[in-house]
Chains A and B, each alone.
Chain A
């Protein structure tokens, strides 16, 4: 079980939280204007990285608020949490400051984690 630090309430056990999927995926402002590929990308395509993943959690059984979290999907170590609406932290500095850094091969060098990918 993870120990998750809610930016509002502090560290609480995972049981209090709900996972909300990948973060920073913006709904296209005008859905009728985007291509089918872009819409499929928004709906269904996720970065699914082996390495750092930026994701939403909701402190369901606490303050009830959504926030964002940077987690290493190989070790499940949580490297940062921050409030919804804030910009994500610089992932390269997070990796270097981590207590048990992920091997370089799993670093998110090729992962544009902030926007949904479209099908090529």
Chain B
């Protein structure tokens, strides 16, 4: 069923009792052409682009829980592409271009709102680094502009630009195409569109093993619902990538950390854009429901517990209150943790693996949501053609052996 205003009126006359399920919930078939492990945004987007752009429709997306229940439902929904290195800028900007008309493409309102992402500079070093980023981005064709304090204040009124505060705002880098989207709708939209093209989405079906044939190539997976055969398996499992790749005997340069976020009680519109501060170390935006959405860096130690330490949250809120004292008396509604897989250079891995037929899309660390459409798009290309798209070609596992890193950790466009 195509969603439209007319359909909405039609269904209203039936008291909204006649809407069909958004995606099918089939039992797994014995064999698929491609199995995607992990029904988050990246996995579902991969399946959708496999079906829509490469004609590969005999695809299953398996998840141990429910779709969109991992980091897709646990992030702060920030979208931007102002990364320093041109490889990163190309990858993330590919996603931002797809975000632009994603709602139309999927016939599903993902509520992409390019309201601007502003990164504050509080000292001379911040100013120099931010301006270097702005120039690098403009050379790479990515919009990013330097604003003085008054211009920053004009764009984001809650900023205090007086110079007698502890962290004065000496300027800001603004990516106007950056913004937010509705994270759940992204997973649901891709799931519905993929399901309509014949992709089977199988929830509550944990993968317990990866099968290999006599030549070492992938032949299928073992699951909670029995064995399923497939010539190609794509692992898109975020924090659990190491665990899954270990099933195929592939060691990964990853460590999994909890990344916490939290939302406040909902209030009337007060915060017009996304503001990030690396020096004070926090980021904040306001959802369309009115909640302030707040996050910062990962916990200190590796963990698979989706909670994290309270003192980390407190540190985040200290930073927010330092920047925006008017929020000091707001109450926080929910706090949660997601398990993020972090690479040594803080750039993702989107690549073939040493095992024939096994592909991996991981290492997005603390910032994967923004890349969802672009990641799925190039990963589908990698799986369908058995060779990477030009955009994801640098994002190999081998770069950690050759030393050709894409070092966004040192470049630190973001609070890691």
- Interface residues of chain A, those whose CB is within 8 Å of chain B, are 1-2, 14-15, 18-19, 21, 36-37, 39-41, 43-50, 53, 55, 71, 73-76, 110, 117-120
Contacts and interface: CB of A to CB of B under 8 A. Distances in A.
A43 B344 contact: yes
B255 interface: yes
Nearest to A15: B311
B319 to A, nearest CB: 17
Contacts of B354: 119-120
B254 A55 contact: no
Interface in B246-273: 246, 249-256
B329 interface: no
Interface residues of B, number: 28
- Most chain A CB atoms below 10 A, which of B242, B256, B401: B401
Nearest to A36: B401
A15 to B, nearest CB: 6
B309 interface: yes
Contacts of A21: 255
A44 B305 contact: no
Interface string B149-193: 000000000000000000000000000000000000000000000
A75 B301 contact: no
13 contacts: A1-B311, A14-B309, A19-B300, A21-B255, A37-B401, A45-B251, A50-B243, A53-B302, A73-B302, A118-B251, A119-B397, A120-B250, A120-B354
Given A71-B301, A74-B305, A45 B310 contact: no
B400 interface: yes
Contacts of A41: 251
A69 to B, nearest CB: 9
A119 B251 contact: yes
B303 A48 contact: no
A14 B302 contact: no
B222 to A, nearest CB: 13
B240 A50 contact: yes
B384 to A, nearest CB: 25
A78 B207 CA distance: 28
B304 interface: yes
Given A71-B301, A75-B305, A119 B401 contact: yes
A5 to B, nearest CB: 15
Given A48-B252, A48-B254, A43 B305 contact: no
B304 A43 contact: no
B11 to A, nearest CB: 44
A120 B253 CA distance: 12
B235 to A, nearest CB: 14
A75 B250 CA distance: 25
Contact of A76 (B249, B305, B400): B305
Given A46-B254, A120-B354, 19 more contacts: A1-B310, A1-B311, A19-B301, A21-B255, A40-B400, A40-B401, A44-B253, A46-B255, A48-B254, A48-B256, A49-B242, A55-B302, A71-B301, A75-B305, A76-B307, A119-B250, A119-B354, A120-B249, A120-B250
